[in-house]
Amino acid sequence: MFAFGDYNTSDLLWLGDWSPTWIAFLTVIGLAVLAFSAYDLRDLKLHRRLTLIGLRGLVFGLAVLLLLEPALDLRQISKVENHVIVLVDESQTMGLKTDDGESTRFDRVRQALEEFGPLEEVGADDHHFDYFTYGADLESTSRSAIDGLEPTARAADLTGAIEEVIERYEGKDIAAVVILSDGLDTGAIGRRTARGEDLDLGSRQLLESLDAPIHTLAAAGEEGLRDAAVSRVLHDDFAFVHNKVSVDVELQAIGMGTKSIPVTLRRDGQVLQTRSVQVHPEESTYDLSFEFVPEQIGKEVYTVDIPHYDGEALYENNQHHFVLRVIRDRIRVLQVVGRPSWDQRFLRRLLKRNPNVELISFFILRTDRNPQVVPQDEMSLIPFPTDELFRDELGSFDLVVFQNFNFGPYHMGRYLGNIADYVRDGGAFAMIGGDLSFASGGYARTPIESLLPVNLPSSSAASAVMDSEHFNPELTEAGDRHPLTQLSFDPERNREIWADLPALQGTNIVHGATDDATVLATHPEITHGGEPMPVVTVAERGEGRVLAVTSDSTWRWGFEHIGEGGTAREYQHFWSSAIRWLIQDPELKLVRLDMHRDIIAPDTPIDATVRVFSPDYSPAADVEGVLSIEHTPLEALTDSSAGSAEAYDTMSFTTDHGGEWDLDRRFNSPGVYQFEAQVSSPAGPLSDDNLVLVTPDFAQYRDIVPRNDLLERIAHATDGYHAVLPDFRPRRLQFNEPRFVEVHRREVVQLWDNIFLFLFILGLLGAEWTLRRRWGRL
């Protein structure tokens, strides 16, 4: 490479379009010619022979050179600056104090960046310094702007920052990457092992794809750091009521010496369990577990906390709050049957096959017409445990089913009031027809009659209380939409399905529905008071629900329908939906208060919606209601003396045309906010409750021990430089030389297209011919 005038570089070009094969062929030809010449001139003296061979070889070489068309490429160029990428961690942990007790980790970064001024000046011709901050995202900035920043980011995604750099600088020349951080990466790079930090294959490939050294400047060391933290809590998002739950806790302790640290698990501020962990200087992380049994369905706020110790770096990481959704495990159903029947058999089999149902079934095996050798109250598969079922264990059942059951012979009259109280306190009750049910079973003027959604005739004569004819129940307008009778979401298709079901055989006679009941299906012929007689009827009773089905032949939907080419799906769907509605499956409540997030940060919008439905499950538009809010301070979750739940606010709302109302609210004060939405209905107040935990996001503070080993591994894997601030030698930062240049001016001079070269070749040929003639050769 040579310089000519205004050009500072040059290269020799070959413009001829000759392949390497042709060049090799010409070379062989030339050598063959010279060899033949040497043989032909063997009788000449050596110096004459060499002179002629040399002239001939020179002529042949120049001829081949002309064929290759040589040219000189003259250029005026300058280097294109490559990029030194500086990544500065601005996460919350960078604001923690260092071992001197005065400066923060970010202060040390600021001091180190002051050394970058001279670096920029020295490398001004070759390198351009690009500054970025990173937290959850990568943000472009300048060195002077960083001096005024405060570390507030709630994440430190170093992995994401490197990936973004690779994407932004694709096809560009990178001189080096400089990372200033405490190494606490919330991304995926690196992993902690028993032997220290390690880089997996994916992390190494990510770093190597930069094709540049990565220099790491650690913002702080571990010296002088003292802190105990609940660094991680692992739990499921939901748990089953009355089932054991396990919560795994990771405790981190550094600079705490040797001591026993109590770790406490609390539920809604009340202590559940306490475990002690013995910490010592040789180890920094400790694992422990809690096991407990939730006692009620709903959301519960749990807290894992440790005491505050003098001299800790911070106290925000000494507790961890989480919300656990406790749901129903298995539905406990008590089925009491007066006598074996196809209807009982089909329903029992349906319930037994459902893995979510725990069935307790009692049915009488003998009737009054059988010879009796034992007392009437012992006519059951096993002795009927009335005391245990209807006094001691009644509250443990989610649903009680009386299926063609006459209570009288078993001395149960004194327990019917218990069943009524059980339903009004939130239980569920279903009565299914038959000749031992409804008025035929003697339930008129008993506490059960007050529960039923239908009115019972006063007469007990068989002709007045039973009808044995076949019939097809007809859906009401409410039945088209109610989930219990909705066999298809399309109302027209739903009616077609009901019309195609096998006919039912026989029904109990009832005198219409009660005022607050919802009739879903009626008899096509039997009427009372000018209205079709109810066959399937539901109602709300206090906190509970009841269902009345006046026929004991719904089994035909699951038997005869198969014989007619149908399926048992309709039978299964009907009774499964009935059970879900009776036990008040949250998805079937008439008032629903949905919180789409359980935990939010202060001053974050609440994402909540109140949905109200009519008894037939059509959207209840223009319904007025009240939303009540209670607030429990966050401190009360770890200290009962810090306060308790207090009324926070009450607001009125009106649902829109879709039966919904959205809550638009923010809360600045941390704590638990309990919401209750309430509307009025003919059956009484309807309500739903929910909660949200408002707490600052302390995820960044769960692990505050600098990961300097990780930063050192990153530097070592890319041939970079690692230092722990404030010890920093700027000259140790090595940068790749620029690989790209910019051409400002270019000229190609063709060397072969020259008359003097042609004349020189002719002169050589003439000299060879003259000497050959003089020396006696033709």
Residues of the chain with CATH 2.60.40.10: 228-328, 588-694
419 SS3 class: helix
Q: How far apart are CA 644 and CA 407, in angstroms?
A: 48
pLDDT, residue 371, reads 47
Is the model's pLDDT at 634 over the cut of 80? yes
Render pLDDT for 638-675 as a digit per residue (tens, 0 to 9): 887 777 889 999 999 999 999 999 998 899 999 999 99
CB 600 within 8 A of CB 694: yes
Tokens of 39: 């043989």
Is the model's pLDDT at 560 over the cut of 70? no
**Which fold would CATH assign to domain 331-582?**
Rossmann fold (3.40.50)
How many of the other CB atoms lie within 10 Å of CB of 192?
A: 13
Angle between helices 201-208 and 158-168 in degrees, nearest 10: 40
Interior angle at CA 136, CA 134 and CA 137, nearest 5: 60
Per the listing, tokens 């503070």 go with 701
Per the listing, tokens 């019939």 go with 471
More confident residue, 652 or 617: 652
Q: How far apart are CA 150 and CA 73, in angstroms?
A: 54
Half-sphere exposure of residue 539, counting CA atoms within 13 Å on the CB side?
Answer: 25
Q: Give residue 220's pLDDT band: very low, low, confident or very high (50, 70, 90).
A: confident
Q: What is the mean pLDDT of residues 38-53?
A: 82
Query: Considering only the top CATH level, what class is 228-328?
Result: mainly beta
Residue 605: CB partners within 8 Å, gap ≥ 6?
A: 664, 665, 666
pLDDT, residue 8, reads 64
Q: How far apart are CA 124 and CA 143, in angstroms?
A: 15
Q: How far apart are CA 268 and CA 296, in angstroms?
A: 13
Q: Could you tell me which residues are beta bridge partners of residue 629?
A: 649, 675
Interior angle at CA 502, CA 499 and CA 504, nearest 5: 100
Closest CA to 698 of 596, 598, 602, 597: 602
Interior angle at CA 95, CA 91 and CA 98, nearest 5: 125
CB 2 within 8 A of CB 17: no
Per the listing, tokens 């003296």 go with 45
pLDDT, residue 411, reads 75
Q: Could you tell me which residues are beta bridge partners of residue 250?
A: 232, 287
pLDDT, residue 247, reads 94
How many of the other CB atoms lie within 10 Å of CB of 414?
A: 10
Tokens of 641: 């003396």
- According to DSSP, residue 195 is labeled T
Q: How far apart are CA 689 and CA 627, in angstroms?
A: 9
Q: How far apart are CA 733 and CA 123, in angstroms?
A: 12
CB 707 within 8 A of CB 105: no
Is the model's pLDDT at 73 over the cut of 80? no
Render pLDDT for 288-315 as a digit per residue (tens, 0 to 9): 999 998 888 889 999 999 999 998 888 9
Q: Could you tell me which residues are beta bridge partners of residue 767?
A: none
Alpha-carbon torsion angle 284, 290, 296, 298, nearest 10: 30
pLDDT, residue 5, reads 59
Q: How far apart are CA 169 and CA 602, in angstroms?
A: 37
pLDDT, residue 386, reads 75
Interior angle at CA 774, CA 770 and CA 778, nearest 5: 75
Q: How far apart are CA 230 and CA 702, in angstroms?
A: 6
How many of the other CB atoms lie within 10 Å of CB of 533?
A: 24
Helices (H), 549-687: 560-563, 569-582
**Of the CATH numbers 3.40.50.2000, 2.60.40.1730, 2.60.40.10, 3.90.79.10, which one belongs to the domain with range 588-694?**
2.60.40.10
Per the listing, tokens 């990029």 go with 83
Q: Could you tell me which residues are beta bridge partners of residue 627?
A: 651, 677
How many of the other CB atoms lie within 10 Å of CB of 746?
A: 12
More confident residue, 744 or 458: 458
Angle between helices 708-717 and 201-208 in degrees, nearest 10: 60
What is the chain's length? 778
Residues of the chain with CATH 3.40.50.410: 82-223+706-739
Q: How far apart are CA 377 and CA 487, in angstroms?
A: 40
Share of residues in the chain with pLDDT > 90 (%): 43
The phi, psi pair for 35, rounded to 5°, reads -65, -40
**Which fold would CATH assign to domain 82-223+706-739?**
Rossmann fold (3.40.50)
Q: What is the DSSP string of 751-767?
A: SSS-HHHHHHHHHHHHH
Closest CA to 327 of 354, 296, 357, 356: 296
Tokens of 598: 């359980």
Q: How far apart are CA 677 and CA 626, in angstroms?
A: 6
Tokens of 111: 């001091």
CB 92 within 8 A of CB 104: no
Closest CA to 363 of 390, 387, 375, 345: 345
How many of the other CB atoms lie within 10 Å of CB of 659?
A: 21
More confident residue, 36 or 278: 278
Per the listing, tokens 């940060």 go with 601
Cα→Cα distances 332→248, 354, 428, 483, 578, Å: 30, 11, 11, 21, 14
CB 177 within 8 A of CB 87: yes
pLDDT, residue 369, reads 44
Tokens of 110: 């600021």
394 SS3 class: helix
How many of the other CB atoms lie within 10 Å of CB of 724?
A: 19
- According to DSSP, residue 530 is labeled T
Tokens of 535: 């066959």
Is the model's pLDDT at 261 over the cut of 90? yes
Strand 428-432 and strand 357-363: the pairing is: unpaired
pLDDT, residue 7, reads 61
Q: How far apart are CA 504 and CA 457, in angstroms?
A: 22
Cα→Cα distances 643→226, 326, 639, 671, Å: 30, 25, 8, 11
- Bond from prior residue into 726 cis (ω within 30 degrees of 0): yes
Cα→Cα distances 496→481, 486, 488, 489, Å: 14, 11, 10, 12
Share of residues in the chain with pLDDT > 70 (%): 91
pLDDT, residue 31, reads 86
The phi, psi pair for 156, rounded to 5°, reads -140, 75
CB 305 within 8 A of CB 319: yes
CB 678 within 8 A of CB 653: no
Q: How far apart are CA 406 and CA 518, in angstroms?
A: 25
Is the model's pLDDT at 36 over the cut of 70? yes
Tokens of 595: 């919180």
Is the model's pLDDT at 381 over the cut of 80? no
Alpha-carbon torsion angle 643, 645, 647, 652, nearest 10: 150
Is the model's pLDDT at 519 over the cut of 90? yes
pLDDT, residue 368, reads 44
Helix, strand, coil distribution of the chain in percent, nearest 5: 30, 35, 35
Tokens of 274: 């306490």
- The model carries a pTM of 0.65
216 SS3 class: strand
